[in-house]
Structure 1
């Protein structure tokens, strides 16, 4: 173990654990976000116009 001189500061084990935890949490959140984003269905331009026409016909 290294002895530090007066006034020197080291993050130590606690600093490493905090950074490792934040990295792991970020990884899990990004993975979850990608899963949720893949579930979203975005209509294309042509499909949007077709749906509007279909809705108008259904109302009549």
Structure 2
């Protein structure tokens, strides 16, 4: 394939770079979801109960 003087084509290198960026993004999102699932958020009632217990322990 012959390109005209003003045409530019990304070629194989452009495809490989975009594919590697996509793969890195997939791996990062998968890892983030794994880490997010490990986080334990206390429920509202539990947080209030713990605060009361801490106040009683200080007295």
What TM-score does the superposition give when structure 2 sets the normalisation length? 0.89
Deviates more, 1:50-59 or 1:40-49: 50-59
After superposition, give the CA deviation of every residue in 1:3-57 in whole Å (9 maximum; x if it has no partner): 1111110000000000000000000000000011111111111010111112223
In structure 1, stretches of 5+ residues that fail to align are none
Give every structure 1 segment of 4 or more consecutive aligned residues whose post-TM-superposition deviation is greater than 2 Å.
56-60
CA-based RMSD: 1.0
Rounded to whole Å, the distance in 2 between the matches of 1:58 and 1:17 is 60
**C-alpha distance in 2 between matches for 1:5 and 1:53:** 76
Q: Aligned partners of 2:51, 2:4: CA distance in 1, in Å?
A: 74
State the TM-score, normalizing by the size of structure 1.
0.88
Q: Structure 2 stretches of 5 or more lacking a match?
A: none
